[in-house]
Homo-oligomer: A and B are copies of this chain.
Amino acid sequence: MAKIGFIGLGNMGGPMAANLVKAGHQVKVFDLSDQAIETLVAKGAQGAADVAACVQDVAVVISMLPASQHVESLYLGDDCLLKQIARDTLVIDSSTIAPESARKVAEAAVINGLPMIDAPVSGGTAGAEAGTLTFIVGGATEALETARPFLEEMGKNIFHAGDSGAGQVAKICNNMLLGVLMAGTAEALQLGVANGLDPKVLSDIMAQSSGRNWALELYNPYPGVMEGSAASRDYQGGFMVDLMSKDMGLAMQAAVSTQSSTPMGSLALSLYKQQQSKGKGQLDFSSIMQLFQQNGPL
């Protein structure tokens, strides 16, 4: 069993750290929220007074933070945490951030003698709790292999996308595409309904035809079509519009910096932002259905 320092105990980081504790590791944890620390301590983790303490005397450092600036600030900021971590310690950042931020931090890590991977996840809080997350990893193969046993205790699938930053790129490409799939599926269902079709019948037909896609099959946005879907519980819970917008915003940033044309992704993002601007950022992202539904909620 290994000693692990875990920084960032939010909705995702908390259960991820808990799974490492459950697997028998000695996990030191830190978060800006004392309560988040206490919750983990109650599960068997050891609380750290600050980030410096959290990374002392551990074999692996894992971070799970909200955005690029937090990750850059943690590792490269005034206290430059990277300089306080013992050489050869493995660093895993599971935050979803801009690829260029990921590359910048990883380069600095390597200069400090620290192998580092970016390992953003998908699977949501449910996956974090169940230990069934998907990790999309960027970084050296060797570092990934060192990380693998730890990742496997938090997740089920592990993909190696390429060098540093590639995990972030693959995740935001995937999520941009998902944003497109959901928007396209929603409007296709609405077009069918407006022309007299039953949304369930249409969903079944398209799921067995060339319109088949993840959103249609597993996350049907039309209320009542799929039991247990966010759509069938007023779009409560699930993957929030705010988070989809954040991920697609990272995609737009990556597109701008590489002169990539992404008309479909850009448009889909505008639709999610329409939802946000109406105060619906906390709804599940399949609530984009509401933009199209006639006489539905405004």
Residues of A within 8 A of B (CB): 99, 122, 134, 136, 157, 159-163, 165-166, 169-170, 172-178, 180-181, 183-185, 187-192, 194-198, 201-202, 204-206, 208-216, 219, 245, 249, 251-256, 258-271, 273-274, 276-279, 281, 291-295, 297-298
Contact = CB atoms under 8 A, between A and B. Distances in A.
Contacts of A204: 159
A179 to B, nearest CB: 9
B122 A210 contact: yes
A216 B210 CA distance: 11
User: How many protomers of this protein does the assembly include?
Assistant: 4
Nearest to A170: B205
Given A136-B205, A210-B214, 18 more contacts: A99-B195, A165-B195, A169-B195, A173-B188, A174-B188, A176-B188, A177-B188, A180-B188, A181-B184, A191-B254, A191-B255, A195-B254, A249-B256, A253-B256, A259-B281, A261-B273, A261-B291, A297-B298
A213 B177 CA distance: 9
Contacts of A259: 194, 245, 273, 276-277, 281, 294
B157 A187 contact: no
B264 A264 contact: yes
B264 A268 contact: yes
Given A208-B159, A210-B178, A292 B260 contact: yes
Question: Quick one: which of A175, A208, A265, A266 has the most chain B CB within 10 A?
Answer: A266
11 contacts: A163-B196, A170-B201, A170-B206, A173-B197, A177-B211, A178-B211, A210-B215, A213-B213, A245-B256, A259-B273, A266-B266
Contacts of A208: 134, 157, 159
Question: Quick one: which of A136, A192, A245 has the most chain B CB within 10 A?
Answer: A192
Contact of A258 (B191, B205, B213): B191
Contacts of A197: 161-162, 166, 169-170, 173
